[in-house]
Each structure stands twice: as C-alpha cells, then as structure tokens.
Amino acid sequence: MTAEPEILFEVKGRVGCVLLNRPKALNALSTDMCARMDAQLVKWAEDDAIAAVLVEGNGEKAFCAGGDVRTLAENGPDNSGPAEAFFATEYRMNARIFHFPKPYISFMDGITMGGGVGISVHGSHRIVGDKTLFAMPETGIGLIPDVGGSYFLPRLPGKLGYYLGLTGARLKAADCLYTGIGTAYVPSDRLEELKGALVEAELGSPGDVDQIIGRFAEEAGDAPLDEFRDLIDAAFGERAVEEICDHLEAIDHPWAGKTRDTLAQMSPTSLKVTLEQLLQGADLEFDDCMRMEFRLVNHLVTYRSDFFEGIRAVLIDRDNSPKWSPASLEEVGRGEVEKHFEPLGDRELKL
C-alpha cells in the first residue's frame, strides 16, 4: 500500500491550497516537505491564475508542531549532513514565504511551534482559532528560536519577543493577536466555511482576501499577557541573561518567580546564544537573519551541544531532566557564545 504524501497541493478556485499531512507526527516538517513546499511556492508566485495561498494542517491537534528534530538529533554530531540539509531547505522555504508576492494565509489552529511558526508567521494573513497553541520552545531543547525568529521576535511590541524566545511561553489566540503574531481570530468551527468563501471568490486583489477574512473574524477576548506587559518589558529589556534573571528576582510578583524558574530549566548556552541572536537580529534584514541562524544551528549540530541532550530528555527518553553542559549561566563565557556566530565559509546559506 502506497503511503500518503506528507504534504498535499491542490488548486481550488484561485487559491493554491497546501495541506500538511503528517497528523500522527503533529505535521512536523521533514526535509522533503520543505523542499516540495518551496518548489510549489516558486510555481504559484509566477502563476497568474493563483491569487492567494492557503496553508493548513491535517488532524485535530496541530497546524505544525515543528521540524522533525528528533530524527536530526539521532544522527549525532558526527553525521551532521542531514541536519545541515534540513535547515538549509527549511530556511530557503521560510525566505520564500517572507518574500511571497501574493496573500499567504495560514490557519494556525492547533499546535504551532518551531518549524510551524516558520511556515506561517512570515505570511501576510495569520488566522488563529480556538485550538491555537503557539510557542518557540527551542531553548528547552538546547536549540535557538530559528526559522526567522531572530527577525520577527525582536520586532514584536516592546520586549514581548525576547520573553517568548527565551522562555518558550505558550500563547493562545488572544495573546497571538495582542503580540501581532496572529492577524485575525476565527472560531475553529468556522474555518472550513472561511476556506470555502476564499476558494469560491473571484479574488482580484489582496484587499479581497482582507474583506473575506473580515467577515469571519471575531474578538478573541482579553489577552492574559497584557496583565504582565510592564513587567515583561522591564525585565526582558536587560541585555544579559543574568541581568534578566536578577531583575525577575527583584520583582515581588508570582509571575516573576514562575518566569525565573522557567529560565532556570533552559539550556544556559541556548539562553545566551538566543539573546545575542535576538539583539543582532533587531538590526538585520530578513535574509541576513536567516544566514545568521544557519550559522548558529550548524555549529550546534556539529559538536556534542545541549541540542542532543535536550532531544534525548524531551523527545526520546522523555524524562524531562536534561543535564546541560555547561550547567550554569556563569559558566557560559562570551567566547563560548561568539563561536556559534562564526562564518561557515563555502557552507554559508545561499538564498
């Protein structure tokens, strides 16, 4: 019996429809899925019959829970070629989405993390629903918030992006709208109706897409993040992870204590590299951010970094007790951080 394709493409009306089709794997991205998506976007960008692209995930749980990082980690640092190929393919696809010349609509209804963020957040229309659960949880597995995180996170209001990138905080629909990650909330049970309206419409301009989505969009309610916004902006406005932790320690509020405890569970190396990544990314163009991230992940997969321990603890053994090395922020010196940003020579990402 032939296995179903991991990603499906179909044209309905004037809409190019994409279905991420790995529901049992929460639609996690493989190298082949990224390559096929990238190639299809090239074709649709040049096809005058296609007025917009719509991306959704198969199944009830996830839009896309990320990239298939477990498979990459299982190869180990001595066989980093597959990981390098995956990240290069994925990042080229992310850049294609960012530069896509037509409306690009994502139904982020369900788990949307890591690679799922990269396949949605850079598009023009980001629809969140009742099942949306958004996060960039990479510091908890010894990685960095990639797929363009160094570009979009520092550009969120205030210091929200630094908070999300360092803590891996999980957001639902209202918070996604509050941060600007989502552009509209549509109840989950109306998404199929919205899709029908889009594919049946005579789409003549991007404004037509806005108008149709506007007919279905509703208020998502109060954003929980708003309660802590001043605390977030103050603490995560610091320019060193130790200073962020000290600032949180000085705040007499339960949120600050919980946030400090969360940071204490993350890879110290990942936290320091991530903060430097976001600080640099705030001043870089998108493509330069992707090149920087490619350097970072390539360095992380070519030595026995916390990435391999994080995947073991969270996705393989599932003991959720990673043994980070170095184990403390104080042990991660400036030189240790800077080596992750070193150029790759002829292995630099080509966009």
- Identify the pLDDT of residue 1: 54
| Catalytic residue (one of 67, 114, 116, 142) | 67
* pLDDT tens-place string over residues 124-152: 999 999 999 999 999 999 999 999 999 99
Q: How far apart are CA 190 and CA 212, in angstroms?
A: 13
**Count of beta carbons in the 10 Å neighbourhood of residue 326:** 15
* 1.10.3720.10, 3.40.190.10, 2.170.120.12, 3.90.226.10: CATH of 7-347: 3.90.226.10
Q: How far apart are CA 202 and CA 229, in angstroms?
A: 42
Q: How far apart are CA 31 and CA 224, in angstroms?
A: 36
pTM: 0.96
| Catalytic residue (one of 56, 68, 109, 138) | 138
Q: How far apart are CA 110 and CA 173, in angstroms?
A: 10
Per residue in 100-133, is it b (16+ CB within 10 Å) or e — as a string? bebbbbbbbbbbbbbbbbbbbbbbbbbbbbbbbb
Does residue 67 carry a catalytic annotation?
yes
- Identify the pLDDT of residue 68: 83
- Identify the pLDDT of residue 2: 64
| Catalytic residue (one of 115, 118, 140, 168) | 115
What angle separates helix 81-98 from helix 31-46, to the nearest 10 degrees?
30
Q: How far apart are CA 36 and CA 29, in angstroms?
A: 11
Amino acid at 349: L
Domains of the chain by residue range: 7-347
Residues of the chain with pLDDT under 50: none
Q: How far apart are CA 136 and CA 138, in angstroms?
A: 6
Q: How far apart are CA 175 and CA 160, in angstroms?
A: 11
Does residue 13 carry a catalytic annotation?
no
Does residue 348 carry a catalytic annotation?
no
Per residue in 185-196, is it b (16+ CB within 10 Å) or e — as a string? bbbbebbeebbe
- Identify the pLDDT of residue 10: 98
Q: How far apart are CA 109 and CA 99, in angstroms?
A: 23
Does residue 202 carry a catalytic annotation?
no
| Catalytic residue (one of 6, 68, 146, 309) | 146
